[in-house]
Amino acid sequence: MTRWHDFIEKDGKAPAWPYPIHYDKEQEIETDILVIGGGIAGCWAAIAAARNGAKVAIAEKGDVSRSGAGGPGCDHWCNVPANPLSNVDPDEWASAMADMPFCNGIGIQIQCREDWDTLVEMEQIGGKIRDTKDEYVGAKGRDAKSKIMISPRYTRNVSFGPDAADRRKFKSNPQDKMNNTVIRVWGTTFKAALKKECKKLGVKIFDRVMITSLLTEKGVQGARVVGATGLNGRTGEFMIFKSKASIVATAGDWSLYLLNTELAGYNTFRSRTITGDGNAMAFRAGAELTLMERTGEMRLATGFRHTWYGGAGDASYENVPIVDAKGKRLPWPTQGWEDGGAMRPSEKDMAKILAGLKSGQYQLPFFGDFPAMKDIERSATWDLMLGEESTTKNITDSYERAGFNPSKHLLMNFSLIEGNTPTQWRTAGGGGPMVDWNLKTTLDGLYVAGENMFAAGDHSYAAATGRYAGRKAAAYTKQVAQGAVSKLQINQEKKRVYAPIKRTSGIDWKELHAGIAKAMQYFCSEYKTDLLLNMGLDALKEIEEVHVPRLYALDPHKLMRAVEDLSLLTHGQIIINAALARKASSRMLNHFRIDYPQLDPPEWDKYLTIKLANDKVKIGSKPQRYFGDMVKNYEKYNKDYTGVYKRK
């Protein structure tokens, strides 16, 4: 009896809700810093803040031990140019990474300067970052002395696109040695170590608690953030946090454009819990957000299969040659040493492959030819990279149990036979709060870290920026007292959060989610016009006025999902408003306006900002590279930075 249906089928009775129900109970917590989201960024923020003397609480929707996109694991520690094996200067690497419009130069500079320190601290607290058991002796990129394993990614260029194979010149690397800026790591050990360290430092962890809103001083929009409200998704208990500073680290929003969570585990790169809460609550509190018009085609998981289930050609499958059904090698990159980690074929090579299919030169389906690899390289890919990446260990385990042996078998690749992701299936995580060099938003008391930042990076970026935001927020809390929360604001939020449990019929969270997603797919996808986008705003308004009042929830879990839907709805509204405001097309922002077709005209070469003032949408702008000289500013703001933490 392990399926819900088993209980019904056996005696016609559903199991009782296993947790106490506390809808009317309130818990109040006072702390220096509240970290919102206990993923990679959140945990690092909490650790850094606690080490800097602050009293810290984390509120996490899941359980900190494995929550967040990086909770299950991580195989690449990317952009770590300050590591001892690197052949490039960290500042030059940062400058190359920032050599594109609409980047987040602040986050990039932090990552390049502090990623190595962060990784060393990860090792100090129990994460595995070296081949200490000598399992991969002989694998290319393994340094015999330090036992650090360099990944082929970025060894020639700052790219994993087709141009990854092209050598990019770095002044600091005049001999064109391998850049060595990405390290292979044993990331399944990381999250458990982070939780343990949080506990050791006295961080109060509130698992299963979703933060639903930020509290501002005296309840005024745009005023200092002085706390937050939360909901326990198991008990329904209401939480009131009073804090001198808060750090939002809830990542982006990968759910907004997807209709449901079924058929493929939703989207196996991000779970349903990632619903844009941080952006939605920061916006409602009056913070300025930017790049919100940027959405990207999902490409990775399409809802039809597991991400990374590609048989090669996806991120973890390094050095795997791709062959056709008859074993003939394709001009497809191996994302390995021979092509500098390129993941996708160039347009020219893709044309060759497609022509070859038509002429009979190549036959579908394609396969990842694991047996053709050197034993040690195959083991490094299959056992280390797939074994340690976020969601792939269960792939290696279950395939092997089913009889797959990488030394004998070629794994089928899904390229071309599966088709492409519809352009309406998008990620909506490109934007986030505007930040300064303290990773402070435009609101006092509110900081941001990790994927919640605009134009954010990956796992190691989340770690480094989390650690940085924690440090900066801790410094702020030493200068200020607790602010005054507004009882009225708390009561209004309580009313909003609990509305769905006051009803017993109407529509559930799944139907509402699909309704919001469909409106986004129709009106704010590949093709954009003022008319379409305004129809989108009207559609979301209608959802807000007609269908949200019908939203009902039968238990605390469904209530939390329902409140997440409200975050999605706000997030969608922000995105459409921002898309309407940018009256030009932009390649970098995946923003294509039929009514304003000119691509990246100079007058629109700026960040658009969006915020609420007196509950009205206000659009503003900031120039490209508003963050100034990255090296100078980093040094100006971090004179007190002492590098790797030294335990007392």
Partner 1 sequence: MTQQKTYALPNTTTPGSNVIFNPAKCNGCNHCVEVCQCDVYIPNPVKGKPPVILHPDECWYCGCCVNDCPRPGAVYFNWPVQQRAYWMDKKTGKILRDSQT
Q: Kindly identify the residues of this chain, within the stretch 73-112, that bind partner 1 according to CB under 8 A.
A: none
Phi-psi region of 445 (alpha: psi -120 to 50; beta: other; left: phi over 0): left
CA 463 to chain centre: 11
Count of CB atoms situated within 10 Å of the CB of 175? 5
Contact 230, 241 (CB under 8 A): yes
Q: Kindly identify the residues of this chain, within the stretch 310-349, that bind partner 1 according to CB under 8 A.
A: 311, 325, 327
By CB under 8 A, is residue 267 in contact with partner 1? yes
DSSP string of 352-372?
HHHHHHHHTSS-SSPEE-GGG
By CB under 8 A, is residue 306 in contact with partner 1? yes
172 token code pair: 């600091």
Per CB under 8 A, the list member of 260, 423, 438, 529 interacting with partner 1 is 260
> What is the rounded distance in angstroms from the CA atom of residue 46 to the CA atom of residue 38?
9
Residue 216 phi, psi dihedral angles, 5° rounding: -110, 160
Per CB under 8 A, the list member of 124, 128, 242, 266 interacting with partner 1 is 266
Per CB under 8 A, the list member of 145, 169, 175, 262 interacting with partner 1 is 262
Per CB under 8 A, the list member of 180, 246, 391, 577 interacting with partner 1 is 391
The CA-CA-CA angle for residues 350, 354, 360, to 5°, reads 140
Per CB under 8 A, the list member of 85, 222, 404, 633 interacting with partner 1 is 404
Closer CB to partner 1, 222 or 265, in the complex: 265
Per CB under 8 A, the list member of 93, 102, 160, 309 interacting with partner 1 is 309
By CB under 8 A, is residue 264 in contact with partner 1? yes
Q: Is the peptide bond before 365 cis (omega within 30 degrees of 0)?
A: yes
Closer CB to partner 1, 371 or 601, in the complex: 371
Per CB under 8 A, the list member of 41, 44, 56, 67 interacting with partner 1 is 67
Half-sphere exposure of 118 (CA within 13 A, CB side): 35
By CB under 8 A, is residue 622 in contact with partner 1? no
By CB under 8 A, is residue 419 in contact with partner 1? no
Contact 282, 248 (CB under 8 A): yes
By CB under 8 A, is residue 16 in contact with partner 1? yes
Q: Kindly identify the residues of this chain, within the stretch 149-188, that bind partner 1 according to CB under 8 A.
A: 188
By CB under 8 A, is residue 441 in contact with partner 1? no
By CB under 8 A, is residue 409 in contact with partner 1? yes
Contact 73, 88 (CB under 8 A): no
Least distance to partner 1, CB of residue 221, Å: 31
Label residue 611 exposed, middle or buried (CB < 10 Å: 0-12, 13-18, 19+).
buried
Closest CA to 449 of 31, 118, 26: 118
By CB under 8 A, is residue 401 in contact with partner 1? yes
By CB under 8 A, is residue 63 in contact with partner 1? yes
Binding residues for partner 1 (CB under 8 A): 1-5, 7-9, 12, 15-18, 61-63, 65-68, 71-72, 188, 208, 233-234, 260-268, 270-273, 304-306, 309, 311, 325, 327, 365, 367, 369, 371, 390-395, 397-399, 401-404, 408-412, 557
